[in-house]
Structure 1
Amino acid sequence: MYDWDGYFDLVRLAATFRMKVRIVLGFHQRGTGPTDPCWLPLPIWVLEEMDRCPDLAYSDRFGRRNKEYVSLGCDVLPVLKGRSPVQVYSDLMRSFRNKFEHVLGDIITEVQIGMGPCGELRYPSCPCERFTRPTDEPELGEFQCYDKYMLASLNAAAHKIDIKQWGKGGPFGAGSLFQNSEETIFFKNDGSWNTQYGRFFLEWYSEMLLLHGERLCMAADTIFFGTGVNLLGKVAGIHWHYYTDSHPSELTAGYYNTLTRDGYLSIARMFARYRMTMCCACFDLKDAEEEDINPKSSPEGFLRQLVHAARICNLSLSGENSRNRLDDASLRQIIKSSKLYLGQSGGVHSNTTSLSFNFVRMGKNMFDSHNWSRFTRFVRQMSDARTFQASLGHRTSRSSFFCASEELMKLAERLYIFNSFIPRF
């Protein structure tokens, strides 16, 4: 049984003010622990099953368990009181559809489907809250393939090509979490990531993630078919090793993206098959602000590659900000990033593709008079086709026009804490 009453009241309030609602159906832990004001763990009954069978949680090579999300290695196995994880996710989606079917496509226009930690299609490779960072070196991440279900799949893949020793675990020489990638055997520029073994492992690891995404896309497409809502899936903006050959932090997250291989095109194609919108962050980040801290990082390079993949696949894109900033430089960067998708060069859109932008991490400081004035001016720019003059002939941003009226200000002050939707399943 699912209790939707509180969310129903929120949707009804939005309808009163003729607002549209985007719902995020999350199946992951939120927050870093009980002291976090945003703490929301997995449901008690799921955690009880994890206590009985620790392999339901992801594990790295050191045996550290991660309970942010149920391991995708057991996606279709009846490990949750007789149901598989995908069945549990589907049951929640179906319950939500049945409760809100009278407003789907009208008030509720978008539903984002959670696909992993933080709702993103990825492995929990960088559990930063569990470590004391010893250096300024960005995280390499840890491969999450050591629970018995993931190991069984890896072992089967190795047996299929008759190299059984490759099925015993993740790569040798992957270094420690904060190590310089050039000091590792696997991730250095001429490392074993680019050998026959490396390609075998990384193809298996990323294909498992794609298969998980495919299962959730298929379930969501079936459940919400004919409701009129737009479905979204989110890709993580992992950019802190983008200027290396091996892109280690992307590899450990499940994105087989390197100097010689595009790891995002296959994800874009998957979303396109189900007519979903691909959601990603980093629209507000600039390389120039990152390079002093980490010269290997390139949020703009990552975003250009992801946008290119979306354009090739005629896939709609939904952007997000990564930080809670309301300064002019950050808001201008969002407009600049949006033009990457809406520009005329680099691909041809179909009539059904579009760009939208979702401003997240809304907080009290937004409603300070100077910030609110700056933000409403930004929304007007995002809603005005003249901002994207180079994109004439294409659809422009679907961001709603904001009016800083007293009525809207009062509503926003009441709603700002509800910018995420993570029901218990």
Structure 2
Amino acid sequence: MVDCWWGIVEANQLLEYNRSGYKHLFHIIRQLKLKLQVVMTFHKCGGNVGHDMTIPLPNWIAEIGSASPDIYFTDIEELDEFFEEGVISEIEVGLGPCGELRYPSYRMEHGWRYPGIGEFQCYDRYLRKSFKIAAQERGHSFWGKGPDNAGTYNSRPQGTGFFCDGGDYDAMAGFFSAGTPRC
């Protein structure tokens, strides 16, 4: 398994890719007749997951993000030969540390400490609008605001009304908030 970091591959300029290090690795993997799982990693690595490595988001994306929070990801596939030969057997899209969907991905600089539960992160204006519409379509418009008792970054599950034993996560609104279908 190898992380293919966006902050390395497209670091300097939009649509300017440098995959040379990865292609070299893929050639070695091919020569050894091994298989490879590639994780397309679109978050930053903040050096706080057991190592000192730091890989930021691309500089140009930070500039765009500061001007407009509406950023779209696209995929331009230039590694077909490795797929066709079966050298790359699987691709996973990593949207946060440990494969988790957390945005922004690292919050230690804002006071988070393990084992804090974190927070619901993906509530940008588009998701909130979509969430509200989905709740209305289900006939429960009050669900459309998301949980207000889920704690903060350093809360423990039992210290919240949402995640505690028997908490709101286990109710219909909780399943809806977590995006888990429940009949």
Q: Tell me the TM-score normalised to structure 1 length.
A: 0.33
Instruction: Supply the distance in 1 between the matched residues of 2:166 and 2:104 (Cα, whole angstroms).
Output: 23
SS in 2 for 1:47: helix
Structure 2 unpaired stretches of 5+: 1-15
Aligned match of 2:126: 149
Q: Deviation at 1:122? A: 2.9
Matched, 1:197 2:173: yes
Aligned match of 1:127: 106
Pick from 164, 168, 183 the counterpart of residue 188 of structure 1: 164
Instruction: Supply the distance in 2 between the matched residues of 1:25 and 1:126 (Cα, whole angstroms).
Output: 16
SS in 2 for 1:112: strand
**Percent identical residues:** 24
Instruction: Supply the distance in 1 between the matched residues of 2:157 and 2:98 (Cα, whole angstroms).
Output: 27
Aligned match of 1:167: 144
More helix by share: 1
- Would the alpha carbon gap of residues 189 and 46 (structure 1) be closer, same or farther in structure 2, given more than 3 Å must change? same
Give, as a single letter, the amino acid of the residue that structure 2 aligns with 1:162: G
Instruction: Supply the distance in 2 between the matched residues of 1:31 and 1:131 (Cα, whole angstroms).
Output: 15
Aligned match of 2:42: 28
Instruction: Supply the distance in 2 between the matched residues of 1:125 and 1:189 (Cα, whole angstroms).
Output: 27
Aligned match of 2:20: 5
Aligned match of 2:96: 117
Q: Tell me the TM-score normalised to structure 2 length.
A: 0.69
- Would the alpha carbon gap of residues 194 and 106 (structure 1) be closer, same or farther in structure 2, given more than 3 Å must change? closer
Structure 1 unpaired stretches of 5+: 57-78, 208-260, 262-425
Q: Deviation at 1:133? A: 5.6
Instruction: Supply the distance in 2 between the matched residues of 1:7 and 1:199 (Cα, whole angstroms).
Output: 40
Instruction: Supply the distance in 1 between the matched residues of 2:158 and 2:104 (Cα, whole angstroms).
Output: 19
SS in 1 for 2:62: helix
Aligned match of 2:12: none
Contact 1:11 1:107 in 2 (8 A): no
The alignment's C-alpha RMSD in Å is 3.2
Contact 1:140 1:176 in 2 (8 A): yes
Contact 2:46 2:106 in 1 (8 A): no
Give, as a single letter, the amino acid of the residue that structure 1 aligns with 2:27: R
Q: Deviation at 1:124? A: 4.2
Instruction: Supply the distance in 1 between the matched residues of 2:158 and 2:98 (Cα, whole angstroms).
Output: 31
Pick from 43, 55, 63 the counterpart of residue 40 of structure 1: 55
Q: Deviation at 1:151? A: 0.5
Instruction: Supply the distance in 2 between the matched residues of 1:106 and 1:26 (Cα, whole angstroms).
Output: 19
> Which 4+ stretches in 1 moved above 6 angstroms?
none
